[in-house]
Amino acid sequence: MAVSANLLAVPVAAPLLTAALILLFARWGGRTLIRHQIALTALALCINLAAAALLFRAAAGQGQRFVLQLGAWSAPFGITVYGDGLSATLLLMTALVALAVYPFAVATIDYHRARMGFHPLYLFLLMGVNGAFLAGDLFNLYVFFEVLLMASFVLLTVGAQPAQTNSGIRYVVLNLLASTVFLVAAGIAYGTLGTLNFAQIAERLPLASPAVRTVFAGLLLVGFGSKAAIFPLFFWLPASYHTPPPAVTALFGGLLTKVGVYTLFRSFTLFFPELLQDWQPVLLTIASATMLVGALGALAQPGIRRVLSFHIISHVGFMLMGLAVALSGNNLAFGFGLGAAIIYLCHHMIIKTALIMAGGAVELHMGSDRLASIGGLVSRQPFLAFLFFTAAISLAGVPPFSGFVSKLSLLQITLDTRHWVVSGVSVFASLLTMMNMMRLWRESFWGDYSRPSRVPSRILQSSVRQRLMLTPVAVLVLLSLALGIWGEPAFRLSMQVAQQALDRQAYIEAVSPSAQTSTLPAGLFTVPAETVSTILSKEN
Amino acid sequence: MISLLLAFAVGSLFACGTYLIMRRGQIKLILGLALLSHGVNLLLFGSGRLTEGRPPIFLNKADYAETLSSSLPADPLPQALILTAIVISFGITAFVIVLVNRRHTVTQTDYVHGELTPLLREGDPFDFSESAELDQYDWLAYEVDEVYDSEELLTGFPTLPPSEQDESTAMEQDQYRWP
């Protein structure tokens, strides 16, 4: 089946339209309405998954690039929507994670949060994430960032528990600061290069002065890096992720930081491939620090969800390490680092979501997620214990699971490129991950059964809800197992995706086949020595 | 000259915004965020050309090239960008104000309990007992409607006396009926 570029609109339009439809009737209230909301949301998630799967097959499997110029306005003037293998991989993973978390959310989100608009917010968050993966220019990327941030602000704070409002403020302020930095970068790009379109920025950036390039790259690194929670900029994440209901934490843990990682991948490979070489020591240092701080910080955390969310930071460090060595290595292994980072990203999205959901189930059974006050659950909930254990060892990188393939490939490329220190750090961080996971397992499942601190939640009295909670975890663990078993084809696919993403010229030609300009337009930040007349004469 | 002035304006807006965000007070935080967004808007405004009295309107299609080469008109795109950015920052500021107000209602304090509080206190840095109290909340409790509907809004969270606990669990059971 031939895939049209119009399919690119579906991952944004389907959640948006469904959420708008739900909101139209949201004020009527009532349980019947919530049931309809759930059905509609599930439908939108399925449509999204189908579209993402089609796109993935065409873009990642067959190496196509899809460009949708909205309203048929050509590239620099209209809104460009761009989808290639990298975008499609992330779209597919996002669709999977969103669809997997949704049954868990339906089972555990209470009626009041549902009435406050949980289901449409879920779709708005999905729309923002999908839009960020598809955006073809900086300003639309900013807009989609804000869409997903706004949805996440409300999802984080709906319910207004004291801890939620406390963490909400820190999350909101730090993310707004990151958005501000990113918007400054967009302003500087427009002022110096006269364009916001990704392809044109990539085309014109070599003409700009090195100072402009450095400032632009630095601002993007800070802006996207704090979305991705890299080393000195991660403080919003451990401050907030443990406070909302576990369904929200699972969704955030699966999706939000990955948007930052994707934008880092996209901007560094497309705009400044040379900086990947020049800044490699800096990037590797940041990556090592992120890995270490994430794993060590998780060791000091007192609760399951606190450990798991702090640990996300460590994984971001692994992905950044893959990006830093993306262009290193010999010609045969071109893009090896990025390919390894992409497969790591997929593994992380799957298994982290599964673990947070399993942790949420533990929290429900024990009435608390504080490791000091829980224990011995393995005798009461063997299936949950089994799922948690398999997910945990997959995260730690034990062979039959996806964690092994992704960690091995990342380690291989760092060893091949002779970055001994960072590869040592990554092995050490993996060891710490193992320690963390075993600590969680020991404290919550082994030992004497400790009575729950309060009456077990009513959710657990419904067997339908129980099944809705555990089935997605089981599916995600199986997916991780499949990714581990079919590791070689999966890795070959992610190598293709990486090589496609690293091919800048093809990106530029796919988006704007127009004539190349050799001069920069006059803006505030450039001296208008060469004026528009020369550009115009060239066009005529 | 005017661009220098603009640069100073952007710089001072950023400086004041950053300073205000670093203060402890919540109102200062909101003001700081607002100043920062104004700073970015001005920067976006300056990223087009700063021209005077040359609107980007061509009366005659034939000689637009000459008009362009003689004097560059104003760039209309940054205004569209600023408009979008203003709308977004307006919505977010409104949200932050509501959040701060809500937080103040719930916790009755202007002080944000930080992750580093145990480290800043004297004694055992790994003593989480204080933050443990903060964490002891029920993510399945949803006081939202009750609080909104009652006068409890003014007095913080309603805590039920033990005698009424059974009634509340019955309510909870009702709320967890399969939707």
In the stretch 187-246 of chain A, residues with CB closer than 8 A to chain B read: 187-188, 190-191, 235, 238-239, 242-246
Predicted local confidence at residue A21, as pLDDT: 93
Predicted local confidence at residue B165, as pLDDT: 47
Predicted local confidence at residue A165, as pLDDT: 81
B124 within some domain: no
The answer to whether residues B95 and B59 belong to one domain is yes
Predicted local confidence at residue B117, as pLDDT: 52
Indicate yes or no: CB of A163 within 8 angstroms of CB of B135: yes
C-alpha–C-alpha distance, residues A497 and A439, integer Å = 36
List pLDDT tens digits, range B1-44: 788 899 999 999 999 999 998 887 788 889 999 999 999 999 99
The answer to whether residues B85 and B14 belong to one domain is yes
**Mean pLDDT computed over A386-400:** 91
Predicted local confidence at residue A530, as pLDDT: 46
The answer to whether residues B175 and B94 belong to one domain is no
Count of structural domains within chain B: 2
The answer to whether residues B7 and B67 belong to one domain is yes
Position A205 confidence tier, pLDDT thresholds 50, 70, 90 = confident
Residue A51: Cβ-neighbour burial (10 angstroms; 0-12, 13-18, 19+): buried
Find the helix packing angle between A138-157 and A162-193, rounded to 10°: 180
Q: Which domain holds residue B156?
A: 140-179
Position B142 confidence tier, pLDDT thresholds 50, 70, 90 = very low
Q: How many contacts, defined by CB atoms under 8 Å, are there between A and B?
A: 188
Touching check for A72 and chain B: CB below 8 Å?
no
B29 within some domain: yes
Length of chain A: 540
Show the CA angle centred on residue B106, arms to residues B104 and B111, nearest 5°.
45
Mutate to test the interface with B, among A109, A141, A181, A190 (most CBs of B within 10 A): A190
Closest CA relative to residue A159, chosen from A107, A106, A116, A125: A116
Q: Which residues of A114-146 are buried (b: 16+ CB within 10 A; e: fewer)?
A: bbbbbbbbbbbbbbbbbbbbbbbbbbbbbbbbb
Predicted local confidence at residue A481, as pLDDT: 94
Question: Which residue stretches of A244-377 are H helix?
Answer: 246-270, 273-278, 280-299, 304-324, 336-366
Least confident of A276-290, A331-345, A406-420: A331-345
B43 within some domain: yes
The answer to whether residues B99 and B178 belong to one domain is no
Among the partner-chain residues A35, A162, A170, the one whose CB lies closest to the CB of B134 is: A162
The winner for highest mean pLDDT among A164-178, A511-525, B119-133 is A164-178
The DSSP string of A28-62 is G-SHHHHHHHHHHHHHHHHHHHHHHHHHHIIIIIS
List pLDDT tens digits, range A28-73: 767 778 888 899 999 999 999 999 999 999 998 888 888 888 887 8
List pLDDT tens digits, range A485-537: 998 899 999 988 998 888 888 888 888 765 455 555 555 454 344 444 454 45
**Mean pLDDT computed over A227-236:** 90
Least confident of A85-89, A168-172, A354-358: A168-172
Enumerate residues 6+ apart whose C-beta is below 8 A from A247.
A101, A104, A105, A108, A109, A357, A360
Among the partner-chain residues A459, A464, A533, the one whose CB lies closest to the CB of B68 is: A533
Percent of chain A predicted with pLDDT > 70: 92
Average pLDDT in chain A: 86
B119 within some domain: no
Predicted local confidence at residue A509, as pLDDT: 86
The answer to whether residues B8 and B78 belong to one domain is yes
Shortest Cα distance, chain A CAs vs residue B55, angstroms? 16
Among the partner-chain residues A111, A191, A245, the one whose CB lies closest to the CB of B175 is: A111
Closest CA relative to residue A521, chosen from A208, A140, A175, A106: A208
Predicted local confidence at residue B108, as pLDDT: 67
- CB half-sphere exposure, B38, CA atoms < 13 A: 16
The answer to whether residues B21 and B74 belong to one domain is yes
- For the record, the structure tokens of A364 come out as 């429900």
**Mean pLDDT computed over B85-100:** 91
**Which residue shows structure tokens 């801890």?**
A163
Shortest Cα distance, chain A CAs vs residue B115, angstroms? 6
Mutate to test the interface with A, among B22, B72, B106, B139 (most CBs of A within 10 A): B139
C-alpha–C-alpha distance, residues A168 and A161, integer Å = 10
C-alpha–C-alpha distance, residues A92 and A48, integer Å = 9
Touching check for A183 and chain B: CB below 8 Å?
yes
A252 touches A259 (CB < 8 A):
no
List pLDDT tens digits, range A315-358: 999 999 999 888 776 555 677 889 999 999 999 999 999 999 99
Indicate yes or no: CB of B107 within 8 angstroms of CB of A242: no
User: B125 pLDDT exceeds 50?
Assistant: no
Residue B128 backbone class (left: φ over 0; alpha: ψ -120 to 50; beta: rest)? alpha
A contacts of B44 (beta carbons < 8 Å): 183, 186-187, 190
User: A75 pLDDT exceeds 60?
Assistant: yes
The answer to whether residues B9 and B81 belong to one domain is yes
Indicate yes or no: CB of A191 within 8 angstroms of CB of B47: yes
A3 touches A114 (CB < 8 A):
no
Predicted local confidence at residue B139, as pLDDT: 53
User: B75 pLDDT exceeds 90?
Assistant: no
The DSSP string of A479-535 is HHHHHHHTHHHHHHHHHHHHHHHH-HHHHHHHH--SPPPSSPPP-SSS-TTS-HHHH
**Which residue shows structure tokens 């990006």?**
A323
Predicted local confidence at residue B152, as pLDDT: 35
- For the record, the structure tokens of A433 come out as 């991950």
* Chain A: residue whose CA lies nearest to B10: A184
Shortest Cα distance, chain B CAs vs residue A178, angstroms? 11
B131 within some domain: no
